[in-house]
Amino acid sequence: MDDYGHIPKEKLRFAERSENRMQSETKRASRGYFADALIRFRKNKSSVAAAVIITLLIIYAVLAPMISPYTITDKDSVYINFPPYTEATSAIGFMDGGVSRESQNETQLAYLHAIGKETGMDPVIRIIDEDVSVTNFRGEETRSVTYKIKVNKYYEVGVVMRVMTPAEFRDILEYQNETGVQVIYPYVSREKVGANVSSSNIWYCVSDSKGTPIYDENGELIPAYSSDKSAEGMEYNSIRIAGDDGSYIYSQKKGGAVECRVCYYNYYRYLNGRTPMYILGTNSLGQDLFSAIGIGARFSLLFALAVSLINLTIGAIYGAIQGYYGGTVDLVLDRIADILSGMPFIVVATLFSLHLAQRVGTVVSFLFAFVLTGWISMAALTRKQFYRYKGREFVLAARTLGASDKRLMFAHIFPNSLGTLVTGCALVIPSVIISETTLTYLGIINLTEFVGTSLGTLMSQGQTSMTTSPHAMLFPALYFSLLLISFNLFGNGLRDAFNPQSRGVGD
């Protein structure tokens, strides 16, 4: 032990005795109910994550239709159920419009390469797999190869036949001259092709109707372009393809109009002024899924919000009256609520749409259907809270001071049930979204005219072409599922935050 005895007296001083020093440290601003709930909510990581995801999904719904160059009325007639594609990302192999095609034979591969040779855009992205099978037929060995190919569906369209007015034809020629993009390709002579093949993409000589190509001595395809000037539809004075000595014709007479072969990808550029940009692909109507999902989601979210707010208002008033007065009033109102809640929602929705849709519009009648039975659960929640609080001392005190019934109900008791109601509201939103989507999915309610599309409509369209283009179902379903999961998580988090005593029950 050190000896402290030698410390000089002037260096020592008394410990502070003033009492308020201790108190001032422990004193804090008192925390309200909502602030308290907010702190509890923030501690719940999964709910916070859900809130972030909901925000992102809402931002998507607001922005996607604005960002997308397409509106909901833009429907392409050729790019139907096409996978995601943008020109910029296809170069790095992402969103490249690729689908895999199984068991393709040599002829089909040659066909695809020929499209690439003519238009300069080869549909074959890569050959995934080769399968060689050797068959022995009467002592002769034949090798046949089948391929699994990843094909760019946008390039695969290649060249299509189009009948157009002379004015449009001239316009395209002008466009070609300005941009140097070849839209119209030389007309093909059926006689030169050599066999009856229906595809407009066959521009070379073939040996049979399956389209087996004939090669020259260098292993190149032999062009079968027509040079028959007498059949030419319109004079052609624009860029010509390589190998054209000026004799090829680019159109044919077709009544008062001309028929010509157009490269659809470039024709699309001519029509829309840009290359196709379908970030999430297209659906079975040729709409851009990226913006269609946003538009459907916008409606779903706004609608669900409107429904839950209306239900909250009606339910709160109804439940307040029930709970506050009790007795006969409660009994009668409860019977009415019972009868309404006994009506199956699907029947209500159908009857409303049959009766009211024509008079007040689909959306309003749809809203009525949700409101008719939706408020009951809110009323029950409010009623329970009123029974709990109406006998408390603070209510008695207010009554003694002469507060009116209305004031007692809405200024004194109601605020106590607000937490429960907010939670109820958050959990109503996903259930409204599910019901709405189910009805539009089944086609019982059709919102296409009013909104343009809806998540349910998109998914039922996607379902029909599920095997060939799963993306048309996958993307709306993914958005939809994420939305529902995060709303439920968010609602559970809110409930735990507002009612800490019920924590962990039912999650």
Partner 1 sequence: MVKYIIERILLMLLTLLIITGICFVLVRMLPPAELAPGDIHTEVIEARREAQGYNKPYLVQFGIFLKNVLTRWDFGISDKLYIGQEVSAIFADKLPVTIIVNLYSILFSIPIGIGLGILAAVRKNSLTDHTISTLTMVGISVPSFVYAFLIQYFLSYKLGLLPFLMKSGTDYFSPEMFVSMLPAILSLSLGVIANFTRTTRAELSEVLTSDFMLLARAKGLTRTQAAIRHALKNSMVVVLPAILGNFVAILSGSLIIERIFAIPGVGNLYINSINGRDLPMFMMLTVFYTAVGLIASIVVDISYGFIDPRIRIGSRK
Torsions phi, psi for 278 (to 5 deg): -105, 95
Nearer to partner 1, 22 or 485 (CB): 485
CB-count exposure of residue 486 (10 Å: 0-12, 13-18, 19+) = buried
Contact status: 480 vs partner 1 (CB under 8 A): yes
| 3-class SS letters over 365-385 | HHHHHHHHHHHHHHHHHHHHH
Contact status: 12 vs partner 1 (CB under 8 A): no
- Selected from 88, 127, 231, 343, the binder of partner 1 by CB under 8 A is 343
Question: How big is the chain by its Cα radius of gyration, in Å?
Answer: 36
- Selected from 86, 350, 416, 448, the binder of partner 1 by CB under 8 A is 350
Classify the phi-psi angles of 139: left when phi > 0, otherwise alpha if psi is within -120 to 50, otherwise beta. left
Q: Pick the stretch among 71-79, 117-125, 169-177, 481-489 that binds partner 1 (CB under 8 A).
A: 481-489
Torsions phi, psi for 493 (to 5 deg): -60, -45
Nearer to partner 1, 205 or 351 (CB): 351
Contact status: 500 vs partner 1 (CB under 8 A): no
Q: Show Cβ contacts of residue 113 under 8 Å, excluding neighbours closer than 6 positions.
A: 122, 124
Q: What DSSP string describes 484-499?
A: HHHHHHHHHHHHHHH-
Residue 426, token pair as written in the block:
């958050």
- Selected from 31, 126, 254, 355, the binder of partner 1 by CB under 8 A is 355
Contact status: 344 vs partner 1 (CB under 8 A): yes
Task: Kindly identify the residues of this chain, within the stretch 396-455, that bind partner 1 according to CB under 8 A.
Answer: 430, 434, 437-438, 441-444
Contact status: 485 vs partner 1 (CB under 8 A): yes
Contact status: 65 vs partner 1 (CB under 8 A): no
DSSP code, position 162: E
- Selected from 241, 351, 364, 403, the binder of partner 1 by CB under 8 A is 351
Contact status: 377 vs partner 1 (CB under 8 A): no
User: Shortest approach of partner 1 to residue 347 CB, angstroms?
Assistant: 5
288, β-bridge pairs: 282
Q: Report the alpha-carbon distance of residue 411 to residue 416 in Å, rounded.
A: 9
Contact status: 375 vs partner 1 (CB under 8 A): no
Nearer to partner 1, 121 or 346 (CB): 346
Contact status: 391 vs partner 1 (CB under 8 A): no
User: Shortest approach of partner 1 to residue 444 CB, angstroms?
Assistant: 6
User: Shortest approach of partner 1 to residue 327 CB, angstroms?
Assistant: 10
Contact status: 129 vs partner 1 (CB under 8 A): no
Length of the chain: 507
Contact status: 316 vs partner 1 (CB under 8 A): no
Task: Kindly identify the residues of this chain, within the stretch 450-479, that bind partner 1 according to CB under 8 A.
Answer: 459, 462-463, 466-467, 470, 473-474, 477
Nearer to partner 1, 247 or 464 (CB): 464
Contact status: 505 vs partner 1 (CB under 8 A): yes
Q: Show Cβ contacts of residue 457 under 8 Å, excluding neighbours closer than 6 positions.
A: 296, 440, 441, 443, 446, 447, 448
CB 408 within 8 A of CB 394: no
- Selected from 62, 88, 231, 347, the binder of partner 1 by CB under 8 A is 347
Q: What DSSP string describes 377-413?
A: HHHHHHHHHHHHHTTSHHHHHHHHTT--HHHIIIIII
Distances (CA, A) of 143 to 26, 214, 298: 89, 19, 57
Nearer to partner 1, 86 or 350 (CB): 350
- Selected from 32, 243, 391, 504, the binder of partner 1 by CB under 8 A is 504
Interaction site with partner 1 (CB under 8 A): 338-339, 342-344, 346-347, 350-351, 354-355, 430, 434, 437-438, 441-444, 459, 462-463, 466-467, 470, 473-474, 477, 480-481, 484-485, 487-489, 492, 504-507
